[in-house]
């Protein structure tokens, strides 16, 4: 019941929102909807823990071998929660931004939320694919209609890029389907397939490219900075906070356990790619003058680490990735909120045109610095346990011979992350004010509330990450066990 509600609430409210033409009303409606989603998600996490609440299945497309099967499991819980938390935050933070035809804007946002929920919940490959696309389409419209100057071309590139990826995934799904023993799209039958190593590699790449584009992993990332730059900030928050997690999520649920042998064979290559991407993106981020692009590249670097940690294929890495997905979502939304405030006030995102904001906007500076430091994975902020576990996983990976080197090089990126983050803080918030920034006003109460919640989350999770780790514990154990191919070797 819970997963069904999680999908249906945003879906139905989203559809209704198209018809609420009054801006105030639609805002409240959306806030109500997202609040409801959040509370249901929390209920699912705390009270309704029995299987009967967390599962829903009904017949659908049975001739195709597919059914409407959704379930909340460990990772799903966390990501649905992220999705549910993100929306109220975003709404709060952008309460003052006005959008023309706002009912359409919010309706599309909710549809995207429904799509993402579905992705996180689907237990059927075809259903997964459906939601995967359902999440993408509203994004396309959101970015193209309400985005910046170059929005059309940029968004289109984003769309085509991800669409190509998802089509490849579709081939992969079909391929597995046609080789699955029960000719079914159910995830259980996907986990049972036996195909040769060559076929596994094929499927691996088909899936991986889709996920790599979504995440994005170097060198599939070029859509991302442009899109983040052009999209309206509320959408960017959804994109970077929640949507990119779809790729990571996909890797964990749909790739590693399905084709463990190929994942093992290509693990080193992927990890290398991810780590090159981390350093590459960090170096570029150092050179960026545009706040949005800077955050975008930083996101690439962070996601690269998650990808690398996934292919470490051990529990430390896996759980690290899972909580990091949540934390990165929270943190990056925080960053975007501040970027949005800055852009709205000054009409520019150029770091070189800003400066000295801390003098007149100490609250903003403080909140931003905290979020930025969390982005750096400073201890006692939420990102630290995640990164710690991921690095630990990477280092202690049994499936690669180069774990030390991987860790060392990945580690370089955390140094570089310090460089660009601190430089940004220094140039934007410190130093002397110029004519432009002298007009700064501090954060409004709604923004403060949103950022405040984020900061509280940052510290709570930072101090007691075990709460989240417990949620994903069993799930990650199961995944790691499924992905483990060492018994195969022992068997032969």
Partner 1 sequence: MINGLGRNRFSRTGVSLVGCGTILGSFILSIWVFIQVKDGNTHVADYFDFISVGSLKISFAFQIDQLSSIFLLIITGIGFLIHVYSTSYMKEEKPEHFGRYFSFLNLFIFSMLLLVMGANFVIMFIGWEGVGLCSYLLIGYWFKKQEYNKAANKAFIMNRIGDLAFLIAIFWLINKLGTVSYTEVFSSANLAKLKAGDITIITLLLFAGATGKSAQIPLYTWLPDAMAGPTPVSALIHAATMVTAGIYMIARSNLLFSLSSVTMDVVAYVGLATALLAATIALKQNDIKKVLAYSTVSQLGYMFLALGAGAYSAGVFHVMTHAFFKALLFLAAGSVIHAMSGEQDIRKMGGLGKKIKITFITFLIGCIAIAGIPPFSGFFSKDAILLAVYVKNPVLYGIALFGALLTAFYMFRLLFITFSGSNRGSEEQKQHLHESPSSMTIPLIILAVLSVVGGLVGIPELFMKGGDKFSAFLLPVIAQQDAHTVSHATEYMLMALSTGLVIITIIFAWFQFRNYQQKESSGFGKVLENKWFVDELYEKIIVNPLNKLGDFFNAIFEKSVIDGLVNGVGKLVNYSSRQLRLLQSGQVGLYVLLMVVSMVLIFVLQFFLRK
Partner 2 sequence: MNALIVSALLGVLMMFSGILLKQKKALRNVAIAGMVLLLMLNVLEMAGIVLFKIDTKGMMVFDRFALLFTTIAFASTLLYLLLSARDMEKVGINYAEYFALIFFILCGITLTASFKSLLILFLGIEIISIPLYILTGSDKKNLKSNEASLKYFLLGSFSTGLLLMGIALIYGARGTFYTNDITVFTEAKPSALIVAGMLLVLFSMSFKVSAAPFHFWTPDVYDGAPTVFTSFMATIVKAAFFIAFIRLFDDAFGLLQSKWQLLVAIITVATLFIGNITAVFQQSVKRMLAYSSIAQAGFMMLSLFAMNTDAKEGLLLYTAAYSLATIGIFAVLIKMNDYSFDGFNGFARQQPLLAATTTIFLLSLAGIPLTGGFLAKFYMLKAVMISGDHLWLVIVAIFMAAISVYYYFRVIQAMYFKEGDSPPIEVSRGFKWTLVLLAALVILLGIFPSLLLNWLYF
3-class DSSP state for residue 55? strand
> If contact means CB under 5 to 8 A according to the sort of partner, which of partner 2, partner 1, none does residue 178 touch?
partner 2
Closest among 59, 62, 76 to 7, alpha carbons compared: 76
In the complex, least distance from residue 167 CB atom to partner 2, rounded to whole angstroms: 4
In the complex, least distance from residue 60 CB atom to partner 2, rounded to whole angstroms: 8
Stretch of 51-59, 61-69, 185-193, 421-429 contacting partner 1, by CB under 8 A: 421-429
Residue 85's alpha-carbon distances to 88, 101, 303, 364, in angstroms, are 6, 25, 20, 21
Structure token pair of residue 39: 């509370």
- Among 56, 106, 120, 130, the residue binding partner 2 under the rule CB under 8 A is 130
Subset of residues 255 to 294 that bind partner 1, contact rule: CB under 8 A: 280, 283-284, 286-288
Dihedral of alpha carbons 122, 128, 132, 133, sign:
negative
Is residue 384 a contact point for partner 2 (CB under 8 A)?
no
Cis amide bond preceding 219, omega within 30: yes
Is residue 107 a contact point for partner 2 (CB under 8 A)?
no
Distance (Å, rounded) from C-alpha 227 to C-alpha 156?
9
Subset of residues 37 to 96 that bind partner 1, contact rule: CB under 8 A: none
Is residue 310 a contact point for partner 2 (CB under 8 A)?
no
3-class DSSP state for residue 69? strand
Distance (Å, rounded) from C-alpha 259 to C-alpha 257?
6
Cα torsion through 252, 254, 257, 262, rounded to 10: -100
Is residue 135 a contact point for partner 1 (CB under 8 A)?
no
The torsion angles phi and psi of 447, rounded to 5 degrees, stand at -65, -40
Within 10 A of 336 (CB to CB), how many other CB atoms are there?
A: 28
- Among 12, 32, 164, 188, the residue binding partner 2 under the rule CB under 8 A is 164
User: What track of x and - describes contact with partner 1 for positions 426 through 465 (by CB under 8 A)?
Assistant: x--xxxx------------------------------xxx
Angle subtended at Cα 58 by Cα 137 and Cα 191, rounded to the nearest 5 degrees: 80
| 90 touches 489 (CB < 8 A) | no
- Among 35, 65, 411, 452, the residue binding partner 1 under the rule CB under 8 A is 411
- Among 319, 382, 400, 437, the residue binding partner 1 under the rule CB under 8 A is 319
Is residue 98 a contact point for partner 2 (CB under 8 A)?
no
Nearer to partner 2 by Cβ, of 220 and 429: the residue is 220
Is residue 194 a contact point for partner 2 (CB under 8 A)?
no
Is residue 141 a contact point for partner 2 (CB under 8 A)?
yes
Stretch of 28-36, 140-148, 279-287, 371-379 contacting partner 2, by CB under 8 A: 140-148
Distance (Å, rounded) from C-alpha 95 to C-alpha 112?
19
Distance (Å, rounded) from C-alpha 339 to C-alpha 109?
20
Stretch of 165-173, 283-291, 386-394, 399-407 contacting partner 2, by CB under 8 A: 165-173
Residues in the chain: 492
Distance (Å, rounded) from C-alpha 459 to C-alpha 324?
14
Nearer to partner 2 by Cβ, of 174 and 463: the residue is 174
Distance (Å, rounded) from C-alpha 401 to C-alpha 398?
8
Structure token pair of residue 315: 């529990």
Nearer to partner 2 by Cβ, of 64 and 419: the residue is 64
Distance (Å, rounded) from C-alpha 470 to C-alpha 480?
16
User: What track of x and - describes contact with partner 2 for positions 265 through 294 (by CB under 8 A)?
Assistant: ------------------------------
In the complex, least distance from residue 97 CB atom to partner 1, rounded to whole angstroms: 29
Is residue 144 a contact point for partner 1 (CB under 8 A)?
no
**Interface ranges with partner 2 (CB under 8 A):** 60-64, 126, 129-130, 132-134, 137, 141, 144-145, 151-152, 156, 159-160, 163-164, 167-168, 170-171, 174-175, 177-178, 202
Q: Where do contacts with partner 1 occur on this chain (CB under 8 A)?
A: 157, 160-161, 219, 221-223, 280, 283-284, 286-288, 314-316, 319-320, 356, 358-359, 362, 373, 378-380, 384-385, 388-389, 391-392, 395-396, 404, 407-408, 411-412, 414-416, 418-419, 422-423, 426, 429-432, 463-466, 469, 473, 477
């Amino acid at each position: 019941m819970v997963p069904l509600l999680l999908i249906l609430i945003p879906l139905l409210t989203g559809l209704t929102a198209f018809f609420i033409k009054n801006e105030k009303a639609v805002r409240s409606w959306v806030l109500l909807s997202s609040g409801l989603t959040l509370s249901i998600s929390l209920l699912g996490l705390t009270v309704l823990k029995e299987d009967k609440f967390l599962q829903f299945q009904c017949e659908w497309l049975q001739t195709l071998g597919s059914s409407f099967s959704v379930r909340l499991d460990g990772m799903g819980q966390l990501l649905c929660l992220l999705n549910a938390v993100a929306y109220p935050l975003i709404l709060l933070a952008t309460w003052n931004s006005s959008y023309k035809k706002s009912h359409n804007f919010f309706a599309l946002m909710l549809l995207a939320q429904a799509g993402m929920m579905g992705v996180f919940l689907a237990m059927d490959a075809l259903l997964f694919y459906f939601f995967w696309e359902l999440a993408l389409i509203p994004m396309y419209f959101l970015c193209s209609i309400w985005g910046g100057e170059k929005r059309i071309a940029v968004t289109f590139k984003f769309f085509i890029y991800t669409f190509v990826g998802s089509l490849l995934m579709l081939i992969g799904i079909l391929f597995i389907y046609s080789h699955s023993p029960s000719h079914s799209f159910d995830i259980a039958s996907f986990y049972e397939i036996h195909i040769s190593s060559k076929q596994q590699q094929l499927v691996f790449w088909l899936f991986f490219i889709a996920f790599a584009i979504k995440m994005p992993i170097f060198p599939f990332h070029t859509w991302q900075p442009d899109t983040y730059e052009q999209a309206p900030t509320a959408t960017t928050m959804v994109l970077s906070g929640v949507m990119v997690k779809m790729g990571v999520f996909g890797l964990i649920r749909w790739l590693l356990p399905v084709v463990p042998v190929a994942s093992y064979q290509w693990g080193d290559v992927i990890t290398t790619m991810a780590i090159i991407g981390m350093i590459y993106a960090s170096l570029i981020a150092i050179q960026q003058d545009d706040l949005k692009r800077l955050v975008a590249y930083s996101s690439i670097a962070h996601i690269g680490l998650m990808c690398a940690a996934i292919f470490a294929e051990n529990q430390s890495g896996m759980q690290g990735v899972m909580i990091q997905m949540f934390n990165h979502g929270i943190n990056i939304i925080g960053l975007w909120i501040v970027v949005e405030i800055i852009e709205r006030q000054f009409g520019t995102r150029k770091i070189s045109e800003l400066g000295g904001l801390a003098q007149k906007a100490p609250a903003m500076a403080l909140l931003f610095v905290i979020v930025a430091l969390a982005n750096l994975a400073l201890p006692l902020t939420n990102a630290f346990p995640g990164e710690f576990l991921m690095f630990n996983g990477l280092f202690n990976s049994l499936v690669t011979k180069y774990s030390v080197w991987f860790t060392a090089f990945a580690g370089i990126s955390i140094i570089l992350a310090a460089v660009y983050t601190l430089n940004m803080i220094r140039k934007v918030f410190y130093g002397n004010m110029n004519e432009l920034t002298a007009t700064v006003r501090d954060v409004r109460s709604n923004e403060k509330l949103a950022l405040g919640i984020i900061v509280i989350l940052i510290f709570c999770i930072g101090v007691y990450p075990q709460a989240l780790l417990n949620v994903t514990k069993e799930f990650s154990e199961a995944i790691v066990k499924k992905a483990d191919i060492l018994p195969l070797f022992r068997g032969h």
